[in-house]
Structure 1
Amino acid sequence: METLGVVAHGAGDLRVEPVEPGTPAADEAVVEIVYGGVCGSDLHYWQHGAAGESILKAPMLLGHEVVGRVARAAADGTGPAEGTAVAVHPATPGPGDGSRYPEDRPNLSPGCTYLGSAARFPHTEGAFARFVNLPARMLRVLPETLPLRRAALVEPAAVAWHAVSRAGDVRGKRVLVTGSGPIGALITAVLRARGAGEIITTDMHEFPLETARAVGADRSLLATDAEGIAAVDADICFESSGSYRGLMSAVQGATRGGRVVMVGLLPSGEQPALISLAITRELELVGSFRFNDEIDEVIAALADGTLQADPVITHEFAVEDALEAFEVARNASVSSKVLLRFGD
C-alpha cells in the first residue's frame, strides 16, 4: 500500500514521494496520520543531512510529532481499536551497549531509538506519511474532547513538561526562558500551568516573543539585551535556544543558588560556557532530554484546558506542500510550530 511521505535524501534534498509501509508486525497497528509537527531535528536532516552526530547514510522518512487514527488494530490484540484517535510516543528504550543508566529514566537508556532518527543504521524510519505501521505500545488514546490539531503538540509539549519537572517546584518562582521557539514557548505554557510566579522570555526575534506572551509570559526581552537579562535575577532558568550564547544568558540571568535547566541541544564538541560564574553563584546546571511518561499528563492537561498552548501552532500545510512548510518552519522570525496535514 503506497502512501505519500516526506523523505530526507541528504543535505538540501527533501522529497515528497510515495513510500511503502510494508506489512505490519503482529504487535503493530496501521495508523492513519492526520497531523505531523515539523521539529528542529527534521529541519537539520533537511538542511545539513545530519542532526548533531546523527548523520544520514540512506534516505529516511522524517517525523516523530504525529497524531492520527488507528486504521487497523494490531493483530495480536494489543493497543487501541480501529478508529481510535491516538498520539504517538516515539521512543523505544533499549539496553544498547549495556552502559549503566537509572532504570526509572528510560529516556537515558543507551540503546534508545526514536522515530525519524539517523542515530543508528539502519535508520529508524519516521512517521511523516499518510499510513504508517507503529508498535501498539507507542500509541496513546486521545480523549474525544481533544481536537487532533491541538493534540499535534503532545510530543513537544511532553519535552517541555519533562524539562519543567527537572526544575523542581516552580510555584511562585521567577523564571527566565532563553529562546522562545516552539519548545521555549511550550515551556512557558507549562510554567504558567504549573503556577510559576513571573515568567520572562528572550529571543532574537519579536514574533516568537509575541507567541511566548500569548501562552503565559509576563514580559520578554530581546536576546541582545545583556543588561536586561543580567538584571532578571531568576530563581530558575531554562535554556531552550540550543546555542552557547543562550546558555550564557541563562547563567547570567540566574540568581545566586539558582537552577539552570539545559533543554536546547547544543552542537557536539566543546562549547564556551560561563563556568566560573556558575561556580561562584553555586548554580545547579541540570540537563533535560526528551521525556518518559509525561506524555500522559500532557494529554490530560491539553484536554481539560489546564495547558493552554494553541498559539504555538502558527501554520498548517498539506503534505504535498512540505517543502514550503519546511521553508516557513526554518524562519523563526515568522513561525512557531508548523504542522503538516496528511489526512482528514
Structure 2
Amino acid sequence: MNPAFPPPSASAEGSPAPCYLASEPESSSLNSAPALVLGCYLTGSGPPQSRALDPRVAVGDMEDLIDNLSVVVHGPQDLRLEKYPIPEPGPNEVLLKMHSVGICGSDVHYWQHGRIGDFIVKRPMVLGHEASGTVVKLGSMVKHLLPGQVEHNSRPLIFLSFRGERVTLFLNRTEHWICLDGDRVAIEPGVPRCTDEYFKIGRYNLSPTIFFCATPPDDGNLCRFYKHNADFCYKLPQNVTFEEGALIEPLSVGIHACRRGGVTLGSKVLVCGAGPIGMVTLLVAKAMGSAEVVMIDVNSTRLEKAKECGANYIYQVKEESPREVASKVEDLLGQKPDVTIECSGVESSIQTSIYATRPGGVVVLVGLGNEMVSIPLVHAAAREVDIRGVFRYCNTWPIAISMLSSKSVDVRPLVTHRFPLEEALKAFETSSKGLGIKVMLKCDPNDQNP
C-alpha cells in the first residue's frame, strides 16, 4: 500500500471505508512505483475488494452515511437545524445526496412570516426547492438513473482517459479498480400527484394537488439527503456544475415567462425588477433572440449586475411616476417594448408595465405582491395589451439544461454568496437583507465546490 496514505479505518469485511486521495510522485511510473493511487474506496487493510453490487444501491451502506442535517422552519422567525432520518426511496423514487441548494425569496418569506397567502406553515417544514445532488440509491422501478458503483479488473491499467468527475481510480502493477459516482441530477420540485386534466394538457404546474418542495405541507430539500420522484430528476451534463443545476429552478421561471410573453427573434423587452428572477429572465430573453432588453429597478448595484449580464439599457427608478418611467423606457428603446415581464410584484411597477408596453403587446406578471392592486386596466384593454400570469413553470428542465450545456446562458455570476449547510441562519439573514443576488447553501461537507 502507498505509504503516503493514512491507514484506512477499521471496517467489516466488504464494507467501504473513507476515500483517500493522493497525487503521483513525479519520479514514479507505473512500472517502478509500488502502487499508484489516484483515489479509492479502501476496505480492511488493503485495496477495495471485488464484490457484487445490487444495481439499485450505491457504494456504501446507508447506516455508514453522515447525519441528515436539515433546515427546518417551525413558524415565523423560527428556523432550526435538525437531524432528520435518512428517507427510504419508494419504487419510483431516488435517494439523493444533496450538493447545492439556493435560497429563494419564498424560503425567506416562510421563515419571516410563516406563510405565503393561503400556504401556511402548520407543522415543521424543511425548506429549499432550488437544488441539485447525486443519486445514491434507486427505487425498484427506476431504470434511467444510476447510483455509484465499483468495478474491478485483474490486469494493469496502461492508459485511462478521464472525462468529467465521475471516475475515481485505484491501480497498481497488476490490477485496478474504478469507482463511479452516481448520476448528478437537477431536481424539478413540482411533481403531479395524479393524471388530472392539467397533467394531460401538459400544464401540470396548475394542478391543485401538485407536490411542490417547501410549500406547506410538503417538505423541501435543504438537507443532506432527500428522496424525490425519479422522473423529475434530470441528469446533468459533465460541463454543468451542481450550482448551475440548482439554478435551473429560477432559470425555469424565466423560460416560462419568456414563453408566455412570446419573446422571439428581434423582440424588444422590458424587465421590471433586477432580483434573481429578473436576472434569469434577462438571460433567457437574450438567449431567445431578443434584440434589446431594458432592465429597471430601484437598486443601482443590482442594475450594474444586470448590465454585466447583458442588459442593453438599465434605468434606476427613483421618485418618478409609472407614466414617467414608461416614457423613459420608450426613449431608451426608441419604441415601446413588445413584451414587458414584471418580476417585482410592486403595484407601481405593474402600472409601469401596462403604460410602457406597445399596443398589441404582452405584459407578463411574474412577481407576486399584494392580492389586490390598482392597475390601469382600461389603458390595457383599449390598446389590446394582453396581461398574462405565470405560476412557476412546466416542461422547462430539458431546455434549461440545453441552454446551460451549450453556454447559451451563464448563470454562474448570479451566485454571490456561499455558505455551508451548518451556517444556514447566516445565509438566510444575508439573503433577507438583499446583500447579494443568489445565496447558495452547500450541503455536502466533503464537497463545497460549485
| Same fold? TM cut 0.5 | yes
Return the alpha-carbon distance in structure 1 between the equivalents of residues 353 and 384 of structure 2: 14
Which secondary structure does the structure 2 equivalent of 1:31 belong to?
Answer: strand
Query: In the TM superposition, what whole-angstrom CA distance separates every residue of 1:103-136 from its partner, at most 9, and x where no partner exists?
Result: 2211112222201111xxxx11110001111121
Maintained 8 Å contact 2:71/2:424: yes
Which secondary structure does the structure 2 equivalent of 1:234 belong to?
Answer: coil
Gaps of 5+ in 1: none
Superposition deviation, residue 95 in structure 1: 5.3
Letter in 2 for 1:146: V
Given candidates 79, 101, 125, the residue that maps to 1:14 is: 79
Return the alpha-carbon distance in structure 1 between the equivalents of residues 384 and 199 of structure 2: 26
Letter in 1 for 2:250: P
Given candidates 327, 341, 361, the residue that maps to 1:230 is: 327
Superposition deviation, residue 193 in structure 1: 0.8
Return the alpha-carbon distance in structure 2 between the equivalents of residues 145 and 89 of structure 1: 19
Return the alpha-carbon distance in structure 2 between the equivalents of residues 337 and 293 of structure 1: 23
Maintained 8 Å contact 1:68/1:148: yes
Counterpart check, 1:87 vs 2:186? yes
Task: Indicate the residue corresponding to 2:16 in structure 1.
Answer: none
Q: Which moved more, 1:138-147 or 1:23-32?
A: 23-32
Superposition deviation, residue 294 in structure 1: 1.1
Given candidates 197, 202, 216, the residue that maps to 1:104 is: 202
Superposition deviation, residue 99 in structure 1: 7.8
Letter in 1 for 2:100: Y
Over 3 Å counting, the alpha-carbon distance change for 1:336 and 1:138 in structure 2 is same
Maintained 8 Å contact 1:79/1:139: no
Query: In the TM superposition, what whole-angstrom CA distance separates every residue of 1:210-256 from its partner, at most 9, and x where no partner exists?
Result: 22212211111123344243332211100100222221121122122
Counterpart check, 1:340 vs 2:437? no
The percentage of counterpart residues that share the same residue type is: 33
Query: In the TM superposition, what whole-angstrom CA distance separates every residue of 1:57-99 from its partner, at most 9, and x where no partner exists?
Result: 0010011110011011223233410110000011122459x78
Counterpart check, 1:287 vs 2:381? no
Counterpart check, 1:299 vs 2:401? yes
Task: Indicate the residue corresponding to 2:105 in structure 1.
Answer: 40
Return the alpha-carbon distance in structure 1 between the equivalents of residues 84 and 131 of structure 2: 17
Return the alpha-carbon distance in structure 1 between the equivalents of residues 80 and 115 of structure 2: 16
Task: Indicate the residue corresponding to 1:264 in structure 2.
Answer: 367
Task: Indicate the residue corresponding to 2:431 in structure 1.
Answer: 329
Maintained 8 Å contact 1:221/1:229: no
Aligned residues: 337
Maintained 8 Å contact 1:329/1:338: yes
Return the alpha-carbon distance in structure 1 between the equivalents of residues 197 and 93 of structure 2: 29
Return the alpha-carbon distance in structure 1 between the equivalents of residues 144 and 125 of structure 2: 26
Maintained 8 Å contact 1:230/1:249: no
Task: Indicate the residue corresponding to 1:250 in structure 2.
Answer: 353
Letter in 2 for 1:219: Y
Return the alpha-carbon distance in structure 2 between the equivalents of residues 72 and 341 of structure 1: 20
Superposition deviation, residue 100 in structure 1: 7.0
Superposition deviation, residue 328 in structure 1: 1.2
Task: Indicate the residue corresponding to 2:292 in structure 1.
Answer: 198
Return the alpha-carbon distance in structure 1 between the equivalents of residues 197 and 370 of structure 2: 23
Maintained 8 Å contact 1:94/1:110: no
- 1:146-185 alignment to 2 at 5 Å? 146-185=240-279
Maintained 8 Å contact 1:27/1:78: no
Return the alpha-carbon distance in structure 2 between the equivalents of residues 101 and 66 of structure 1: 23
CA RMSD of aligned residues (A): 1.8
Which secondary structure does the structure 1 equivalent of 2:358 belong to?
Answer: strand
Maintained 8 Å contact 1:178/1:241: yes
Letter in 2 for 1:244: E
Superposition deviation, residue 52 in structure 1: 2.2
Return the alpha-carbon distance in structure 1 between the equivalents of residues 369 and 193 of structure 2: 24
Return the alpha-carbon distance in structure 1 between the equivalents of residues 373 and 97 of structure 2: 42
Return the alpha-carbon distance in structure 1 between the equivalents of residues 349 and 278 of structure 2: 12
Q: Please report the TM-score for the alignment, with normalisation by the length of structure 1.
A: 0.93
Return the alpha-carbon distance in structure 1 between the equivalents of residues 313 and 229 of structure 2: 43
Superposition deviation, residue 281 in structure 1: 2.3
Maintained 8 Å contact 1:31/1:71: yes
Return the alpha-carbon distance in structure 2 between the equivalents of residues 258 and 150 of structure 1: 32
